[in-house]
Amino acid sequence: MRVPGAAALMLVVALSAGCTSEPPQGPRSSPDRLVNKSLTLKQKNGSALVTLVSVVESYVTDDYYASKPQSGNFVVVGLSFEHKTGEYSPSKVQFTLRTPNRETVTNSRSPLPFDKQFRSTTDSQLSAGRFLSGMIAFDTTYYPTLTLQAVDASGFIVGQWPLSGGEPIEGDGSFTRQISQSLTVKSRGSSAVITLVSLTQSTGGTRANQIPQSGAFIAARMRIEGTTGGYTLHRNVIRLRKPNGRDVTKYEGNGPHGVPADEQVPEYETIDSGEVVKFAIAFDTQPSPGSKLVIVDAGGHVVAEWPV
């Protein structure tokens, strides 16, 4: 078929325009959204002011060799660390994201250029006058309810930042009630002053065995000071007594993992006069009005109790 001259001219013009136009643009990253919310985080040997500087809800790279998101999307956060006290060691493994259904997203895959990544090295330890910053990527779909979590070496949450830009929260947001009530307990020629320092209702940590099967942990922080003889402490004697008289021990559910291992009540210890021992114990149970924290003797008789 012969194409008329005018039509042929129009086709050539259209093809020429198509050949000289800009190539179609691929997906692009969403813009950095500034947050600038800070918390002071503590470690055993120091502390730092940690700031969630920015959030990229959808990060896209044009690097062919970069990691590809299994979820279809990377969320990227920008963090800064400012020295406060002692020596603080930032590490990207400290940070995870919590999704709306409480799943934990780690940062094991990253599409970020090497010079943009927050890197955990021996040179990243903070000391007086030092400041560090960097970016961390998470392989997940963005939700406004995503929360950045800082966790300690035991997997417990020490700080939270809503990615939506809300105010950060110290710890895991648990409610702690200060008690500071002391009782003197006697046993076989020895005695000690036992103080219930505080009670915390917690939803646990980030690992599977740190999530309470009942939906809540009740954690008691206690202090024991020996007064006469050698008072013997055994973890089995501390129980949470429900209103119906049933005793909940620390071994029920995920109770053994309800507080960090280095804070837990010793299995068996003799406390001499003047010696002080501090510890925590967790019970995997929902709070019930009328419950009591009790200490029992070898015969199961209550020798001390505190309302919970």
Q: Judge if 280 and 166 occupy the same domain.
A: no
Per-residue model confidence (pLDDT) at position 257: 92
Same domain as 98, residue 187: no
CATH assignment of the domain containing 296: 2.60.40.1240
Pair (189, 109) in one structural domain:
no
Radius of gyration of the chain from Cα atoms? Answer: 28
Residue 61's pLDDT is what? 87
Query: Are 116 and 238 within one domain?
Result: no
- State pLDDT tens for residues 18-58: 444 444 555 788 888 999 999 999 988 899 999 999 999 99
Higher pLDDT pick, 14 / 145 = 145
pLDDT of residue 147: 96
Best CA proximity match to 96, nearest among 41, 156, 39:
156
227-252 per-position pLDDT tens digit:
999 999 888 999 999 999 999 999 99
- Write down the pLDDT at residue 120: 64
Asked if the structure places residue 280 within a domain, the reply is: yes
Let me know: does 237 contact 213? Beta carbons within 8 Å: no
143 inside domain: yes
pLDDT for the residue numbered 123: 58
Give the span between the Cα atoms of 308 and 301, in whole angstroms: 19
* pLDDT of residue 224 exceeding 70: yes
Q: Are residues 165 and 205 in the same domain?
A: no
Q: Which of 141-145, 171-175, 176-180 has the lowest mean pLDDT?
A: 171-175
% residues pLDDT > 70 (the chain) = 90
Per-residue pLDDT, 300? 87
Q: Positive or negative CA dihedral for 205, 210, 214, 216?
A: negative
**Of 150, 170, 190, which one is at a domain's C-terminal end?**
170
Q: Does residue 186 form part of some domain?
A: yes
Question: Quick check: is 140 in a domain?
Answer: yes
More confident residue, 4 or 249: 249
Lowest mean pLDDT, pick from 68-72, 128-132, 183-187: 128-132
Binned at pLDDT 50, 70 and 90, residue 268 comes out as confident
Strands (E), 59-168: 74-86, 95-98, 104-105, 131-139, 147-151, 157-162
Provide the mean pLDDT of the chain. 87
Residue 189 falls within a domain, yes or no?
A: yes
If one compares 289 and 109, the residue with the highest pLDDT of the two is 289
pLDDT in tens, 61-85: 888 888 899 999 999 999 999 999 9
Residue with tokens 């194409």: 3
Same domain, 165 and 184: no
Residues 238 and 136 placed together within one structural domain of the fold: no
- With b for 16 or more beta-carbon neighbours within 10 A and e for fewer, the 255-280 pattern comes to bbbbbbeeebbeeebebeeeeebebb
| Contact assessment for residue 263 and residue 205, using Cβ atoms and an 8 Å cutoff | no
Res. 118: pLDDT tops 90: no
pLDDT at 164 over 50: yes
pLDDT category, 7, cuts 50, 70, 90?
A: very low
CB of 266 within 8 A of CB of 277? Answer: yes
Q: For residue 99, how far is the Cα from the chain centroid?
A: 13
Q: Give the domain-ending residue among 170, 187, 214.
A: 170
User: What average pLDDT does this structure show over 2-12?
Assistant: 37
Beta bridge partners of 155: none
- Residues of the chain above pLDDT 90, percent: 58
Please tell me whether residues 126 and 61 are part of one structural domain. yes
The pLDDT of residue 212: 93
Do residue 148 and residue 93 come from a single domain? Answer: yes
What is the rounded CA–CA span in Å between residue 66 and residue 114?
10
pLDDT: which is higher, 118 or 73: 73
At 3, the pLDDT band (50, 70, 90 cuts) reads very low
pLDDT at 48: 94
Same domain, 132 and 203: no
Cα(298)–Cα(5) distance, integer angstroms: 109
What is the domain extent for residue 206? 175-307
pLDDT at 128: 87
Helices (H) and strands (E) in the chain, counts: 1, 19
Domain boundary among 141, 170, 199: 170
Does 165 fall in a domain?
Answer: yes
Exposed, middle or buried, 188 (CB in 10 Å: 0-12/13-18/19+)?
exposed
Tell me whether residue 195 is in a domain: yes
Measured in degrees and rounded to the nearest 5, phi and psi for residue 252 equal: -75, 145
Q: Is residue 10 part of a domain?
A: no
Same domain, 155 and 41: yes
Number of domains in the chain: 2
Q: Encoding tokens for residue 18?
A: 């198509």
Whether residue 149 sits in one domain with residue 85: yes
